[in-house]
């Protein structure tokens, strides 16, 4: 079943056609990658999917719900982490998650359960009382992911989530995305071919706003999203530093 459906989606900014009649579906429990150079239309598509932009033509549906005609209902089904996701650095992790949960209408014991679940899924237990600005970039990214899954969305939308992360954090992010995809579909953008290839089930390749192809990734021929021998060595050697 398709969680997300795009049908001839287009977006024009003046004379520039940023997205040109793009169509694809994202299925349940699938990691679907958008791959392309800078300016290929990846981030614009994500903004159209999440309702931050309106299409010039075509449609976006989340679980059959049109994101333009029923914007609120569609957004309730989406968790979004934009590139350079903003966080309130002065808050503790648990305070920030509680704040974001209340914005989504989660209160009382349901909020407590949602926070506990997100903290567990993103392995944030050791830092849940830590002030966000004191966290490493990798842990701040985990907090961004945690707020995006608080309400158990059908679709998790991630814009260049590995930007600015060090090698260890990128390896850990791979595993987190596969773990999160057990409960929802994931739509993720990147301009780094190797990362999409290691993480995604299918990949759409974009150029100048046009969809060139959609390819199935065979994880029999591509290394699985677990650490390679070199990555395992790197993780082992940097373990002490990562815990600081």
pTM (2 decimals)?
0.87
Instruction: Say if 99 falls within a structural domain.
Output: yes
Instruction: Say if 131 falls within a structural domain.
Output: yes
Sign of the torsion formed by the C-alpha atoms of 24, 30, 36 and 41:
positive
Q: Is 221 helix (H, G, I), strand (E, B) or coil?
A: coil
pLDDT at 190: 83
Instruction: Say if 24 falls within a structural domain.
Output: no
pLDDT at 196: 82
Instruction: Say if 90 falls within a structural domain.
Output: yes
Distance between CA 149 and CA 116 in Å, rounded?
11
pLDDT at 94: 98
Tell me the H-state helices in 104-243: 108-121, 137-149, 167-180, 193-199, 229-237, 239-242
Instruction: Say if 137 falls within a structural domain.
Output: yes
pLDDT at 148: 97
Per the structure, the count of domains in the chain is 1
Distance between CA 1 and CA 25 in Å, rounded?
9
Token couple for 16: 């520039």
pLDDT in tens, 46-58: 999 999 999 999 9
Is-contact 111 102, C-beta < 8 A? yes
Token couple for 181: 């995809």
Quick one: residue 14, left, alpha or beta (phi over 0 = left, psi -120 to 50 = alpha)?
Answer: left
Distance between CA 60 and CA 41 in Å, rounded?
15
Residues of the chain with pLDDT under 70: 219-235, 237-244
pLDDT at 217: 85
Token couple for 184: 């929802």
pLDDT at 238: 52
Instruction: Say if 118 falls within a structural domain.
Output: yes
Instruction: Say if 162 falls within a structural domain.
Output: no
Print the domain residue range for 109: 84-152
Placement of tokens 């707020």 in the chain: 147
pLDDT in tens, 149-186: 999 999 999 999 988 888 888 888 888 998 999 999 99
């Amino acid at each position: 079943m398709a969680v997300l459906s795009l049908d001839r989606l287009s977006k024009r900014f003046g004379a520039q056609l940023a997205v040109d009649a793009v169509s694809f579906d994202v299925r349940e429990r699938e990691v679907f990658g958008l791959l392309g150079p800078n300016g290929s239309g990846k981030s614009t598509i994500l903004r159209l999917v999440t309702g931050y932009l309106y299409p010039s033509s075509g449609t976006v549906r989340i679980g059959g719900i049109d994101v333009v005609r029923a914007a609120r209902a569609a957004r309730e089904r989406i968790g979004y982490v934009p590139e350079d996701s903003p966080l309130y650095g002065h808050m503790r992790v648990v305070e920030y998650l509680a704040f974001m949960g209340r914005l989504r209408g989660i209160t009382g014991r349901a909020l407590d359960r949602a926070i506990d679940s997100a903290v567990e899924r993103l392995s944030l237990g050791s830092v849940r009382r830590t002030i966000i600005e004191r966290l490493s970039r990798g842990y701040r990214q985990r907090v961004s992911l945690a707020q995006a899954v608080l309400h158990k969305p059908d679709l998790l939308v991630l814009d260049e989530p590995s930007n600015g992360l060090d090698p260890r954090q990128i390896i850990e992010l791979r595993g987190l995305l596969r773990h999160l995809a057990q409960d929802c579909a994931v739509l993720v953008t990147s301009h780094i071919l190797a990362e999409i290839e290691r993480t995604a089930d299918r990949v759409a390749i974009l150029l100048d706003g046009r969809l060139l192809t959609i390819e199935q990734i065979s994880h029999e021929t591509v290394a699985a999203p677990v650490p390679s021998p070199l990555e395992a060595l790197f993780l082992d050697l940097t373990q002490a530093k990562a815990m600081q």
